[in-house]
Structure 1
Amino acid sequence: MFTRKPLTLPPQLQWQYQDEPALAEWSLKARPYNTDIANGIFIFFLLIQIPCLAWLLPSMTSGLAYQLLIGGFLYIVVMSGGFSMTHQTTKFAYRLTASGLEFCEWKAFPEWLPTLLKWLAVITGVVMLMLVMVHPAALIGAIAGPGLIGLMYLRMGTSSQFRKMHESYHHIVHSWDEFKKVTVFRRRSIIGLDFEWYNPEGEDGKGRMIPWEEIIYCRKSHYNELIEIIRAQLPDSTPYEEAYIQIYAGA
């Protein structure tokens, strides 16, 4: 169930409870971070460009048609870059059985992204250089446009950290008796399951238990049914709460 438009799973994935019938299984793309902050940054980029372009464009050309054309082009370029930063997604696949919950999360580096940025830098640079011949003030746009995009391209092309961040694979397995609490955050259609894990390096090497929360992402159309399935696998005494869930990057 819950297999609408399933994602292609990583070839190395093997479910631990694959011999058991699934109570629910689904895959989807989700944004595993604080989307309120990310959306706020995107809106900031969306709005701050308007006064910047209104100040810059009249000094570049006097024709309204050219201003609209150049402004629209720069607006699309900057917003495309902003969107790629604030709306990144991770792929998830979940499988619930009578033995427990297991899921896989993975990302694949978008090979097309450096090429896209490279060509955007080239095209924007050509446009800006043509405008510089008309008005020197366009040099500001040339630096802000192709200059920044070119730096992003070089950064991605040479940074192993950036590539590693966008190439990840995790397969996580939990038995139902590990979970101590269920938290439901309906606005984002996510479920938090509290548990503890042992950190041998805690307490100066003495080791200690760390409280943690596993986040489950699902579609709104399956949300209520999924909550019922999960709660049916846990003791009736398991605390249940509907509240805001803070999601940190990498959680």
Structure 2
Amino acid sequence: MFKFNKDLELPPQLKWKFSHEPELLGWTIRARNYNTFVANCMLLFMAVLNVGAAFIMYSVYAGMSQPWRTLSCVFFYTLMLIVTLSMTHQRMKFAYRVTKSGLEHCEWKDFPEWALTFLKWLAGVTAVFFVFMATIDPSFLLGALIGPGGVGLTYLSMAYSKSYREMHTQYHHYAFKWKEITQLAVVTNREIVDFKYSIIQKGDEHITNGGVNIFCKRKQKEKVAEFIRSFLSPNVPFIKTKADVPQY
């Protein structure tokens, strides 16, 4: 019927359950599906730790000329802050699809291979730079060990840590039939449509109840909510509410 701009491609690990049916509505979006207040606190904590590490680095570089000493510490702090930010404020990718049978969505997060490439080249370039500068000032040899060496260790820990890769790689698919949705809500203080569901899992005799946040692009949540509502039973509550949920 109408389709929002799709700027994300569904990864091969995920498949639509109702792919045999025409898509009536679909869109993709990047959003933070976690408590951003906690993430901001973690970033602030790590930023303070990085300041301490930069000051320690500054004292270690006592034999270096003042401009290069300051520049090295600022570079180290900036790099560590960027790495920290990439870990605490990642965005999930979401894809939504509506058909006559129901609503389904995929969410995924790929491991940032670009970050590894960046760190590897950064370690190499900075190592060459520090070695070259050591021909002018021998104190830069210490900088070559601490600066590029630290970047290299960060690269190795990210590239070969299985737990780190698993933490930053996720693929999930969820599908709901219209009869399983028990409440629909428009979140007034966020670009989100929320619905509650009640289902019986395959092989399980117990009813599972839960809720799902549907992340919408700006000024589209009302249209999305009304479109979904048209498929629901008139007995399904449709409300407006506020929620303390993350904004994308």
Match of 1:39 in 2: 40
Which of residues 211, 216, 224 is equivalent to 1:213? 211
Report the Cα distance in structure 1 between the residues aligned to 2:46 and 2:19, rounded to whole angstroms.
45
Using the TM superposition, give the Cα deviation of residue 39 of structure 1 relative to its aligned residue in structure 2, in angstroms. 2.4
1:134 has 2:139 as partner:
yes
Q: 1:111 to 1:103 in 2, by over 3 A?
A: same
Which residue in 1 is equivalent to 2:88? 86
1:232 corresponds to: 230
Identity %: 32
Q: What is the alpha-carbon distance in structure 2 between the residues aligned to residue 71 and residue 227 of structure 1?
A: 51
Bigger helix fraction: 1
Q: CA RMSD in A?
A: 3.6
Moved more, 73-82 or 28-37: 28-37
Distance 2:17 2:7 in 1: 16
Number of residues of Structure 1 aligned to a counterpart in Structure 2: 239
CA distance in 2 between counterparts of 1:46 and 1:79 reads: 6
Q: Give the 3 Å change call, closer, same or farther, for CA 134–159 of structure 1 in structure 2.
A: closer
Q: Secondary structure at the match of 2:220?
A: helix
- Aligned positions of 1:129-168 closer than 5 A: 133-134=138-139, 146=148, 149-168=151-170
TM-score, normalised by the number of residues in structure 1:
0.74
Taking structure 2 as the reference length, what is the TM-score of the superposition? Answer: 0.74
- Deviation per CA, 1:133-167: give whole Å up to 9, x if none: 4399x67x965x55554444323332334334444
The alpha-carbon distance between structure 1 residues 77 and 241, as it changes in their structure 2 partners (threshold 3 A), is same
> What are the ranges of 5 or more consecutive residues in structure 2 without an aligned counterpart?
none
Which segment is superposed worse, 41-50 or 73-82? 41-50
Mapped to 2, the partners of 1:47 and 1:188 lie a distance apart of 30
Q: Residue 113 of structure 1: CA displacement?
A: 2.5
* 1:227–1:10 distance in 2 versus 1, CA, 3 Å: same
* Cα 1:73–1:210 shift into 2, 3 Å: same
Give 1:45 deviation, angstroms: 3.5
> 1:20 — aligned with what?
22
Match of 2:196?
194
| Alpha-carbon contact 1:30-1:91 (below 8 Å) kept | yes
Looking at structure 1, the residues matched to 150 and 187 of structure 2 have their Cα atoms a distance apart, in angstroms, of: 38
Q: What do residues 175-234 of structure 1 show as CA deviations (whole Å, max 9, x unaligned)?
A: 111111234444442222211344689xxxx85333221221121231222122223333
Cα distance between partner residues in 1 of 2:88 and 2:106: 23
Q: 1:112 to 1:236 in 2, by over 3 A?
A: same
Distance 1:114 1:236, change over 3 A: same
Distance 1:230 1:43, change over 3 A: farther
- Equivalent AA in structure 1 for residue 36 of structure 2: T
The gaps in structure 1 that reach 5 residues or longer are none
Which of the numbers 203, 223, 226 marks the counterpart of 2:221? 223
**In 2 relative to 1, CA 221–121 (structure 1 residues): closer, same or farther, beyond 3 Å?**
same
